[in-house]
Structure formats: structure tokens, C-alpha cells
Amino acid sequence: MNPIIFALRRPITIIVGIVAVALACCLAVRPKSVDAYLQKFGIVLPVPMAFDIFPALDLPVIYVAQPYGGMDPAQMEGLLTNYYEYHFLYITGIHHVESKNVQGTALMKLFFHPGTNMAQAMAETINYVNRSRAFMPPGTVSPFVMRFDTGSVPVGYLVLSSATTTIAEIQDKALFKVRPMFAALPGVSAPPPFGGSARSVVIRTSPERLQAYGMSPDEIVSALASGNTVSPSGNLHVGDRYPIVPTNAMVKDIRDLGNIPIRAGVSPTVYLRDVATIDDAADLTTGYALVNGRRAVYILATKRADASTMSVIDEIKAALPKMQKELPDDIRVSFEFDQSPYVTRAIDSLRTESILGAMLTGLMVLVFLRDWRSALVVVMNIPLAIMAAIVGLWLCGQTINLMTLGGLALAVGILVDEATVEIENIHVQMLKTSSMAQAVRQGNLQTAIPRLLAMLCILAVFVPSFFMQGAARGLFVPLALAVGFSMIASYILSSTFVPVLSVWLLRSQQHSKDESNTSFARFRDRYERLVQQVVARRWLALVAYAAVCALIIIFVGKRLGTEIFPQGDVSEFRLRLRAPDGTHIDRTEQISLSVLETIKERVGADRVALTLGYVGVVPSSYPINAVYQWSRGPEEAMPRIALKKGGKQSAESLKEDLRRELAARMPDVRFSFEPADIVSEVMSFGSATPIEISARSASLVENRKFIGRVQAELAKIPALRDLQVSQALDYPTVEVEVDRERAGLAGMTMSQVTKSVVAATSSSRFVVPIYWPDPKTGIGYQVQVELPQPVMRTVDDLATVPVERLGGQQVLLRDVARITGGTMPGQFDRYNMKREITLTANISGADLGSVAQQINHVLADVQKGDDKEKDELEAQGKKPVRVTHELRGQIPPMKSMLGGLKAGLVLAMVVIGLMLAANFQSLRLSLVAVSTVPAVISGVVLILFVTGTTLNVQSYTGAIMAIGVAMANAILLITFAERRRLEGEMAPAAAVAGAAGRLRPVLMTSLAMLAGMLPMALALGEAGHQTAPLGRAVVGGLIAATLATLLIVPATFALLQNRAGTASSSLDPNDPTSRHYEKGAP
């Protein structure tokens, strides 16, 4: 049955359906308190929609974090990472493998081709991890393997601080008291705490006592391993009982470790207590967490990619009192850097813009029709369509995020199209009949097909998003679904709810004398005369139109900047500082505190809300933390600063001032700014800086030469900032070169010598694992032997480390080894098993696209010069190492996404053109509709240029939407004009009549949509800068499209249809409109 007939015959059914949709919407976005209340009665409802910043991008990436405490970067690369990479290349769908290797940690990042089954990829990764470990050194522990999506960025920090408790104790409480509660919260993924090292039983040997007794550190380790060993407990059958038979092979009280004999059977017997102290302490310190300049411990509040940001934060805040109860009174737990206000501001901003848009839309309808009832009918269509769209998104498993909210905000301006066209035609029919129901029925029937085509045009422009890949698909599909559900709901409502409401509310007598038509009639007459002139000179008009559009698109379009996502003036930033290579973490901490003081002096201490950061590297005991916060060595620190709102200086201006001031105060320290707010972190796609350039080959020396040339040339680009090599290439070393011959003569093996060196400079933690379970808590800890770091300050201290020989006589390290200073790379990076060096940079005062062009020119010139040099060496008969480069960071994803959008734009036009050709049965008429596209693109380019807005994901989306709306408006005019032509009028006259007849509905829908998008374009909300480009693109495109629809479409119609026939294209001989029709034929 026809929807209009069904609605008019069963109006109560329509109202019931509307109420059902409203209830379903309330169910989809209900607060958690409703579920908590209903659960008391045993009622369980479906899971509501999640609230987040971005949809899950589902990037095909897997991380593998491998620790091995004490191993230098070259060992991590050659003995561990190399075997992993070799086996990972067998994984189905693998694209490439990147790795970073520093002392004690290797981080591998596996990238897969789009469409790869990631569940299978994860299973294969774990399988090949297990196989790889068979080739690795003894003591290699299993790595952490995890999927990491850009949606898994931290949403806050759980901070534990105390004025009296040691960091080691806080770390232990955070790890075993707070983290289990934290990780159990829905949607939360809790990595280990940052700030402290793992609690350990530390055996600190005395170098003086070792020398006095003629012992080596390795002798202590061996005795400890045999004197405190893991021994399984058996059972004994005693009568009817079967008791467990435990032994004290492992001590219960750590003080009993002092009773272990180190050297027995000779006089005197030496016990552990004689040469060492036993402390309940922590592993070697590799880094500090600083909160407001004081050492503390924090846990990253990360979420699963599919979890709701708001829900996760609400769960954490609700659990804070319970966590506090589990801690001693002197340890305080708090939640800092809460990202939920940003989500709330974004939602509130779009909600405000939508409400303002709906109000302005209703006002525009009221101005044209002079009937508040008609305006009310149109406006009521907006919230109902949005509620229906929310229900559709809920059923599809989507979340409320910036993209879906942007789609719904877009829909506010477009939803009026369906209802406005119908209401306007109802008003026309009301002048022809006294029956309101009849006017409503005829008005709806006459506009049903044009409204359907208009809806399909808008839907068609978003069809290409379903064929995109990677992050682009993840971003655009939710937006497309939001717009699609809104438009479908709007069409259904305009065909059912609007007719019912019109019959109930509208009054026909008001239109017997419509005085407003007088002024509008005069305007329409002037417009008709203008169109007649344009149609009469249609060749000139179309040539001028094409020329103007081409000039704007070519010359103005080239001056538009490009980026992935619009940049906002955020109040948070992170600073990565790099002291000279090999700087001790205590000195790096002092530098970090000085930087924080400088920032407070620059902006004012009262404006700094919070500072939080990390100094040094994450301990090898917690390698998974390297996924969330990578650091190359003890010389690095990463303070994060949150500023209070209300400052007069923009964030970018502040960064520029800090760059100058910090460089002047600390010339030997390098600085780089990194994203800190949740939007920037997500849209950076895992890149710390927007610019990353890698040089790779089989030779690290050649890589360094190439990247040095690139760095020298890039330094000439004014927009680049913080240009630096990310790896430590000259990390200081104290090299111990053992003389194997002298060691052999002394009766010692290389293993004995190196174990003593390890115990003196690191610990026995990874070399000889020894354990102790705390009987009070049931938690197991490691026992490690080390020489106290405070007493190992010079090369001479290392040279006097005792090394045992087979006869028991003591030999010092200097007797069998030569100790010299040197350098080595502090970090080895690889790409598909090939070493690379990476250059990073930030951008200031320019857009990403323009800087990318300059960088590409520089890279091309440097590569050309390098290739020429290598060609000359080959001509001399030499075999030089060829260096290749790759531009990474945010530039490749930007090109991929914007390239996909360009292709989508072209595909959308093709789809719409084919759809219109199928409807009109004429390719010419579809070309008439497509003639508005150049105007749309020109309008978008002009408004972006005038407002200083870049081409980005949001503005491209607005341009695509504007094209759909423009073609929808053109359909109204084309349908009417073609109908007049088929009735016998010449094409020029039909074009003029169609334009004049559809002037009011075209203006009404266009101005109503412009009014609906104006609040978004003006960025009236607090977080409006993120969606403003979308609104501006729609406004600019729609203004130009409206002018083209009213002036260019009639001219194009007259030109293309002037000699077109009036016969139907039907081939059916029984169709009266067909040229093959035979009257009286069977």
C-alpha cells in the first residue's frame, strides 16, 4: 500500500510507531542508573550505546614487547629481535615489521594488509613467537603480545602519591592492590604502574669484603641459587592420611638468606651475611614518574578499543573510594588528566549546534510560509528523524562519537529538505481545494518521487565510504550510517507522520488570501526575467560558469592547506626532552624539573593545572609499558603539562616561546613537542611527530650519512621545528675486553668473568632467576645479587671487581681484561630486518600538506645526489651500499585518506549520475543535474580559503554532503521542467517555467539547510573547532549550488534538451507512451 494512503487511513498506527521509536532511542542512550535500578527487580536490558571520541578504527597492528634486563641494544637486536622478525615474515597477511631495540627492551610492531583476519594473525604471531624462542639465549622470558588500536590511548592517569612511603612500596601496592581492582573494571585495560621498579629481595655485596675473602660476585650468585631453591612438595602415606611434605628449601624470612654458606668446608666458613646486606627493596631504578614535580607512581587508564570513554572513566571514578580503602592512610590515589570533559564538551557542543540549527530552520520555514503550524510540522520532523537514526546506529553496534555526532549534526540541516518540499507543495494544493486531507494527499503524491530521488542522491554520496580501507573506513562508515539512517527516517516521516500532522494542524482558510505572495511574486517575476536572459545566452553563461569554476578550483584550490583532522587550540601538551646521550636519570630528572619551572615562569604558576611525566626508560620487568610510552634511554624525559583555561596565549604560540627560551637556557638539551589530548593522540595514528623520515640500508654508516644530508636540507624549511634524529647514535660505553689467553692461563672461563661483570654493573635478575614467596601475602618476588650502584662510580671501581679462578685464588677484572671508553648506538631501529635511522620533526605555522611537498622535493634531491655518487663508485668497480628512504608519520595516512575521499567524490558523482539516468531514462537529464558539481566544489574551495580552513577529513565530508544536497535540489527543478517540456513546451520555455515554479521550494530548502548548518560553521560550541570545517564546507558548497541550481541548471537544461524528443524510451508495444505502441494490439 502507498505510504501516504496507509498513513491517512491509520493515523493512530503512525503515532504508535513514533512513540515506539522514541522509547527505543531512550533505551539506546539511557544512563547507567536506570540499569542499576532495574537490576534490583531482575530486569536486564540490552547494552546501551557507548560514548566516545572516535569510532574503533580497528587498525591491523600487533605489538610484541620483549625484555631481557641488561642486554645492550646490539644484543637485543641480534640475539632476540632478528629471530622474531625472521619468523614473523611467515605470518599470513603481514605487510611489514618495524622494531626498536634499546638496552633491556625490544619493541616490535607488526603491520598487516587491510582485510587481514586479525584473530588468525594473532594466533600465528603467538605461534611464531614460541618457535623463535627456541633460538634465543637462556633466560629469555616470553614477550608480551597485544593488539593496539589508536582507540586504546589513555583516557586518564590513576596517580598514587605519598609524602612518607617509598616509591618501591607504592609501586608494590599499586601493582598488587590497586591494579587487580582497576583491571576488573568493565572496558579497562590496565598496564603495570609507571614510576617504580619491581619489588625484589636485593643482596647488596660489599666489594671490600669480597676482596678480603677472595670471592667474586658470581660465587655469591651460585651459592644463593643452590641455598635457596625451588623444591616441589611431595606426599607421605601415613595411616589413613596423605599429608603434604614441604621443605624449607626456600626461606620464609628473607633474613634467613644470610645463613646460606658461600664457602664451606674450609676454615673459616663464609656466610652470605658476612659479605652482603639483605634488603626488601626493588630492582635497579631505570626511571621515575613525576607528578607536579614530585616522585610518584601512576597507572595509565587505558581502555579497550571498543569500550566507551565515558563509561570507563565513570567506572574508574566510582571505584576510587574502594581503591583508597585498600591502601595505607599515607598513600593517596587520584584520577588525573581526565579526558571525559573533552567528550562531554564535544557532545554538548554538537547538541547546542543541532538545537540552534533546528530553531533557525523552523524560523526560515516560518518566514517563507507565514504559518507557525507549518514550521512546527517541519521542525518536529528533525528530532524524530535523529531519534530513529540513533536507534539504527545502536542496532548496528555504533557508538556516539565525533563522527556519528557530526553525521547527525549534518542531518539537522538536511532533514528539513523532505518535510519542507512536501509542506510547500501542500500549501500550493491548499489553494486548489478546500479539503485539507485532499491537499495533503495530492501534495504528498506529487512530491513522492522527487523526494525519494533527493534522499537517494544524498545516500549515494556516502556509498563509497563502505569501499574504503583502513582508518578512512573506520572514520567514515559511522558518519555515513548516521546520515543514511537520518535521511531514510526523514523520508518515511515525511510520507507518514507529516501528512497526519498536517491534516490535524494546518488550516486551509488561512491561504484563501495569502498577502505574502505579492512581494514574493514580484521577486519571482524579476528572477524569471533574469533566467530568461541566462537561458537566451546559455552558451555564454555556461562557458563563463565553467571558466570561473575552473579558475577557482585550480588557482584557489592549490592554496588550500591539507591535514588529517582540524587542529584545535588545546590546553594540554607533552614535551620530550633529550639530554646528551648517556645522561644519568638523576641528572635528567633535574633537567626535567628545571623545564617545568621554566614553563611555570613563562605562563604563570597559577595557570598550570597539573604536570605529569616520566624520566628514563620503563623497567625490563614491565616491557608492555613500552607500547604506551616509548623512551630510548635514561637521558629522555616526557613531562606532560595541563594548563587551565582562560589564558590569552594560544598553545602554538606558547610552544614557540618555549622552544626559544628552553634552547637558550639549555643549549645541550633537545626538545620536541608531542600530542597530549585524546583527539590529537588518536589522529596521530601512533606517530609521536607528524614528520618521520627513515633512511635504511645494510650499512648504519651510510644511513647516518644520508640522514645527515637530509637534516641539513630540511633545516632550511621555515615551518619545521624540533628537527632531530630519534635514536641515540653515540651512546657512551665502558668496554670490557677480556683477554681470553690470560683468562685461560688464570684458569677462568669467559662465563665466569662476564658473570662477575654483570653482577657488578647490573644484577643477577635475568641471568640466574632466584625466587622468594612472601608468606604473608602469597606473592612471589625475585632475589637478585648486585653491587651497590653508589660504590660503582668510576672505571677503577669496575677494574677492581674480583673474579674467581678455579684454584680459588682471587683475580681482579683488570688482571684479565682491558677497560676502555667508547661509543655505540643506543638504539637500533629496523624495518623488515634492515637497519634504519629516523629523523623526526614538528610543524608550526603551516599545514601538513604544504610541508609534505617541500619535504618530498628535498628527499628527491638528496636521493638523486646519493644515487649519482653510488653510480660513480660502481663505475670505478666498487660495490657501494644503496640507501633508500621513506616518508612516514602522519603524511602517508593523510595522503591515503584524502586520496580515498577524492576517489569517493568522483565515484559518488558517477553513482548519482547513473541513478538519475535510470530514473529519468535520459543521460542528458543526469548531466543537467551533475552540472551543479563544479559550483559546489568552487563554493567549498572559496569558503575554506576565506575562513583559513584546511582540506581535511571534516571539510571533505562537508563537500561530499554538499554535492548530494545540490543534486537533490536540482532534481526538483529538472523534474518540473521536464514535465512541462513533455507537455509540449520548448526546452528553453520549460526551463524558465520550471525554475520559476520551483523557486520557492528550492530557496526554502537551501536557506533552511544553510540555517541549520550555520551554528556548526561558526563553531559556536566549546569544541566546535573540530567540526567547524564540515559545516563551512556545506555552507559554501550549498550557497554556490543554490545559485547554480537557479541559474545554470535552467541554461544547461535548455541546451541539452532543446533537440531532445518527447517520445518515451519504452520498448513495450503495449505501453501507450512507447513509440512502438500499437493501438488495439493484443
pLDDT of residue 518: 60
pLDDT of residue 267: 66
What value does the mean pLDDT take over residues 1018-1037?
79
pLDDT of residue 765: 84
**In the predicted structure, residue 510 carries a pLDDT above the cut 70:** no
The answer to whether the beta carbons of residues 12 and 496 sit under 8 Å apart is no
CA dihedral (538, 540, 544, 546) positive or negative: positive
pLDDT of residue 1071: 72
What value does the mean pLDDT take over residues 1040-1053?
92
What value does the mean pLDDT take over residues 941-961?
88
- SS3 label, residue 770: strand
Return the higher-pLDDT residue of 917 and 541. 541
The answer to whether the beta carbons of residues 825 and 727 sit under 8 Å apart is yes
pLDDT of residue 288: 92
Q: Categorize the per-residue pLDDT at 145 as very low, low, confident or very high, splitting at 50, 70 and 90.
A: very high
Count helices and strands in the chain by DSSP H and E runs? 38, 31
Nearest to 784 by CA among 285, 288, 67, 281: 281
How many CA atoms are closer than 13 Å to the CA of 220, on its beta-carbon side?
39
CB atoms under 10 Å from CB of 103, counted, come to 23
Extents of the domains making up the chain: 50-150, 199-282+732-824, 343-506+523-565+894-1057
Q: Categorize the per-residue pLDDT at 150 as very low, low, confident or very high, splitting at 50, 70 and 90.
A: low
Nearest to 277 by CA among 294, 249, 296, 258: 258
The answer to whether the beta carbons of residues 63 and 430 sit under 8 Å apart is no
- Give the separation between CA 632 and CA 578, rounded to whole angstroms: 9
pLDDT of residue 801: 86
How far lies 763's CA from each of 68, 644, 793, in Å? 12, 44, 16
Unique residue bearing C-alpha cell 608494590: 172
Nearest to 289 by CA among 580, 607, 669, 585: 585
CA dihedral (254, 258, 261, 263) positive or negative: positive
Q: Categorize the per-residue pLDDT at 1082 as very low, low, confident or very high, splitting at 50, 70 and 90.
A: low
CA dihedral (1066, 1070, 1073, 1078) positive or negative: positive
- Give the separation between CA 429 and CA 1004, rounded to whole angstroms: 17
| Bridge partner residues of 98 (DSSP) | 109, 831
653-691 residue pLDDT tens: 888 889 999 999 999 999 998 877 666 676 666 678 889
Grid coordinates of 29 = 542512550
Q: Could you give the percent of the chain with pLDDT greater than 70?
A: 94
The answer to whether the beta carbons of residues 887 and 855 sit under 8 Å apart is yes
> What b/e string do you get for 224-240 counting C-beta neighbours within 10 Å, with b at 16 or more?
bbebbeeeeeeeeeeee
How far lies 273's CA from each of 128, 224, 278, 284, 761, in Å? 45, 11, 8, 21, 21
pLDDT of residue 515: 45
The answer to whether the beta carbons of residues 295 and 159 sit under 8 Å apart is no
pLDDT of residue 442: 82
- Give the separation between CA 122 and CA 431, rounded to whole angstroms: 69
The answer to whether the beta carbons of residues 910 and 965 sit under 8 Å apart is no
How many CA atoms are closer than 13 Å to the CA of 473, on its beta-carbon side?
11
Nearest to 427 by CA among 493, 361, 488, 516: 516
Grid coordinates of 350 = 554538537
Q: Categorize the per-residue pLDDT at 569 as very low, low, confident or very high, splitting at 50, 70 and 90.
A: low
The answer to whether the beta carbons of residues 218 and 752 sit under 8 Å apart is yes
- Give the separation between CA 280 and CA 282, rounded to whole angstroms: 7
Q: Of 444-458, 990-1004, 1061-1075, which gets the smallest average pLDDT?
A: 1061-1075
Length of the chain: 1082
For the residues of 191-256, what is the DSSP string, one character each?
A: PPPBSSPPEEEEEEE-HHHHHHHT--HHHHHHHHHHHS-----EE--BTTB--EE---SS-SSGGG
The answer to whether the beta carbons of residues 901 and 472 sit under 8 Å apart is yes
The answer to whether the beta carbons of residues 100 and 66 sit under 8 Å apart is no
The answer to whether the beta carbons of residues 130 and 275 sit under 8 Å apart is no
- Give the separation between CA 104 and CA 613, rounded to whole angstroms: 21
**In the predicted structure, residue 963 carries a pLDDT above the cut 90:** no
Residue type at position 76: M
Unique residue bearing C-alpha cell 530553531: 359
Q: Categorize the per-residue pLDDT at 910 as very low, low, confident or very high, splitting at 50, 70 and 90.
A: confident
> What b/e string do you get for 878-893 counting C-beta neighbours within 10 Å, with b at 16 or more?
eebeebebeebbbbeb
**In the predicted structure, residue 502 carries a pLDDT above the cut 90:** no
696-707 residue pLDDT tens: 998 999 999 999
Q: Classify domain 199-282+732-824 at the CATH topology level.
A: 3.30.2090
Asked if the 50-150 domain carries CATH number 3.30.70.1430, the reply is yes
- Give the separation between CA 140 and CA 620, rounded to whole angstroms: 12
pLDDT of residue 904: 75
Rg of the chain on CA atoms, in Å: 36
What value does the mean pLDDT take over residues 477-493?
88
pLDDT of residue 999: 85
Return the higher-pLDDT residue of 863 and 787. 863
- Give the separation between CA 628 and CA 608, rounded to whole angstroms: 24
Q: Categorize the per-residue pLDDT at 960 as very low, low, confident or very high, splitting at 50, 70 and 90.
A: confident
Alpha-helical runs (H) found in 825-847:
none
Q: Of 255-264, 433-442, 494-503, 854-863, which gets the smallest average pLDDT?
A: 433-442
CATH superfamily for 343-506+523-565+894-1057 is Multidrug efflux transporter AcrB transmembrane domain (1.20.1640.10)
pLDDT of residue 1021: 61
DSSP character at residue 77: I
Mean per-residue pLDDT of the chain: 85
For the residues of 586-599, what is the DSSP string, one character each?
A: HHHHHHHHHHHHHH
pLDDT of residue 805: 59
CB atoms under 10 Å from CB of 318, counted, come to 11
**In the predicted structure, residue 987 carries a pLDDT above the cut 90:** no
- SS3 label, residue 757: helix
Unique residue bearing C-alpha cell 601538513: 848
Alpha-helical runs (H) found in 516-674:
516-536, 538-551, 585-603, 625-628, 651-665
807-840 residue pLDDT tens: 656 788 898 999 998 999 999 999 999 999 999 9
- Which class for 325: exposed (0-12), middle (13-18), buried (19 or more C-beta within 10 A)? exposed
The answer to whether the beta carbons of residues 972 and 428 sit under 8 Å apart is no
CA dihedral (965, 966, 967, 968) positive or negative: positive
Q: What share of the chain is helix, strand, coil (3-state, %, to 5)?
A: 55, 15, 30
26-85 residue pLDDT tens: 988 887 777 777 777 777 778 888 887 778 777 889 999 999 988 999 999 999 999 999
- Give the separation between CA 929 and CA 204, rounded to whole angstroms: 83
pLDDT of residue 1024: 62
What value does the mean pLDDT take over residues 166-182?
92
Helices 953-982 and 891-920, interaxial angle, to 10°?
A: 10
Q: Of 616-625, 891-900, 1032-1041, which gets the smallest average pLDDT?
A: 891-900
pLDDT of residue 491: 86
> What b/e string do you get for 989-998 counting C-beta neighbours within 10 Å, with b at 16 or more?
bbbbbbbbbb
